[in-house]
Amino acid sequence: MEHLKQSHAQAITCGLGDNSFALSRLLAFCSDPLHGSPSYGWRVFQRIQHPTICICNTMIKAFLLNGEPIKIIHVYTRLLRDGMVPDNYTLPYVLKACANMGSGLLGELIHGHCLKLGFVADTFVGNCLIAMYSAVGDMNAARVVFDGVPWGGVVSWTVLISGYAKVGDVESARLVFDEAPVKDRGVWGSMISGYVQNSCFKEGLHMFRLMQLAGVEPDEAVFASVLCACANLGALETGIWVHGYLDRVEFPRSVKLGTALIDMYAKCGRLDLAEKVFGEMPERDTVCWNAMISGWAMHGNGDRALQMFSEMEKAGIRPDDITFIAVFTACGYSGMAYEGLRVFSSMCNVYNIEPKTEHYGCMIDFLGRTGLIEEAKEIIGKMPKKGSPSEEAVVWRALMSASCSHGDVRLAEVAAEKLLELECHSGAYVLLSNLYSTSGKHDNARKIRKMMKTRGIDKTPGCSSIEINGNGKEFIAGEKTHPQMGDVHGVLESMNKHLDGSGCHLNLVSI
């Protein structure tokens, strides 16, 4: 920027201070998010008496790259006021700004400009319209625009599939995928990513296998989605295969891909391999450190998680709010309440991170696990009252869980009453019913179960998964329709016969 300012001064002294081409190159450098300065560019732009559409586009792009959508609208308003006509570079930038702001109304106004100026048939503008409507959740409008783009290429299909996936409609996303006349890497990747984003992990892995059979080479985004699916299914064999494939083809190991491998190995119980990947990474960002700390946290090794946090600080990597949630979780699983309070103080006073509901929930959890129930209740009283009901329910659920663990019926009843005011969820009923049963208050337990029945609240069945020969198998509690359920019960009955002699017995009803 220092060199740029010198060049700018030289341009002015040479009489080129108002030259459109010189100014456009100056603003182009200012738009660079790493080396430029949008604020300097904005000051220059405001002094230009008659900016060209090219200069306006450059300024709009600068604000888009630097995440300042409001200023994009200011520039767009000015160019309209000055009688300039937006082109097929201007409109996509402005539509992306509308998407980033989540403003469907403003997006519709820009859509009107696109229609008046005849740019709706432009593929680039059309794709940005589809993306904008998808971002604000209006998939009907997105589909109408898609159907109106005359030469919609693979990008249009990819954007529409991603849009449906973003709003949780994976069925429509799959229908669009099946309709696509050409399926390139982007189309396959959007469908795989859509499944994974919506927790359809088995379907995501199945789609990945179909992609391989189609002979389409995966990219980094596809591998990251597949590793995420493996992590959530516990599909260690598939995850190891992906890791081996990446090594065989010498695929560039980015921070994103390395983090996905760490997360997969940690969630599959192979912390040794997770730490090996972590140690081999030449570059690590905050998300990467978070994944490793979370891995130790979920396996109850609080000492190692805290050690990793300390190493992260020494490496000069600034922790974020997710880092502290991972550390607090580790403290909860390991019964390290005082260490957790010390880290909480560091978060607030050293890093100036304002605690969120999740942080308070973690604090209540680690205080409750160590028997400091009253202290946990005091934390709730000190929380700022600005969260949504669902966020507030997080902390009361944590308090109720802690109360049930320590058999504190009185406090559990208080927490349950508050929880039932905030949300209609089976968890509070089930916890309270179980507490009454273990405390010998069977009449109260029956009342809770009757209340659940009267209010039409069903307990969400538990689900477990296991990987067999590279394929994920899911089992739901109480399920009777699984094709191999007869075989499973046959094996369990055989095991029961062997266990009868030792006085043990398997409960087939719960299975």
Q: Model confidence over 359-369: pLDDT tens digits?
A: 888 888 888 77
On whether the CB atoms of residues 411 and 399 are closer than 8 A, the answer is: yes
On whether the CB atoms of residues 139 and 169 are closer than 8 A, the answer is: yes
Q: What average pLDDT does range 262-266 have in this prediction? A: 95
pTM assigned to the model: 0.77
The C-alpha atoms of residue 197 and residue 417 are separated, in whole angstroms, by: 34
**Which of 244-249's residues contact partners 24+ apart within 8 Å by CB, and which partners?**
none
Judge whether residue 185 has pLDDT over 80: yes
Nearest CA among 14, 73, 97, 82 for reference residue 48: 82
Q: What is the pLDDT of residue 511?
A: 45
Q: What is the pLDDT of residue 467?
A: 63
Q: Model confidence over 67-103: pLDDT tens digits?
A: 889 999 999 998 999 899 999 899 999 999 999 999 9
The C-alpha atoms of residue 259 and residue 409 are separated, in whole angstroms, by: 43
pLDDT band at 230 (very low <50, low <70, confident <90, very high): very high
Percentage with pLDDT > 70 across the chain: 83
On whether the CB atoms of residues 359 and 327 are closer than 8 A, the answer is: no
Position 213, amino acid: L
Q: What is the pLDDT of residue 400?
A: 74
Q: What is the pLDDT of residue 429?
A: 64
Judge whether residue 509 has pLDDT over 50: no
**Which of 210-215's residues contact partners 24+ apart within 8 Å by CB, and which partners?**
214/183, 214/188
Q: What is the pLDDT of residue 191?
A: 97
Nearest CA among 441, 443, 434, 442 for reference residue 416: 434
Best-predicted range by mean pLDDT (100-104, 367-371, 407-411, 418-422):
100-104
Q: Please measure the distance between the N-terminal and C-terminal CA atoms of the chain and give it in whole angstroms.
A: 67
| HEC profile of 334-346 | HCCHHHHHHHHHH
Nearest CA among 394, 409, 418, 469 for reference residue 439: 409
Where are the strands (E) in 357-470, listed by range? 463-468
Q: What average pLDDT does range 388-406 have in this prediction? A: 72
pLDDT mean across residues, the chain = 85
Q: What is the pLDDT of residue 372?
A: 80
Q: Which run of H or E residues covers position 175?
A: helix 170-179
The C-alpha atoms of residue 129 and residue 159 are separated, in whole angstroms, by: 10
On whether the CB atoms of residues 156 and 126 are closer than 8 A, the answer is: yes
Q: Tell me the β-bridge partners of 373.
A: none
Helix (H, G, I), strand (E, B) or coil at 151: coil
DSSP state of 500: G
Longest dimension (CA), the chain: 101
Percentage with pLDDT > 90 across the chain: 46
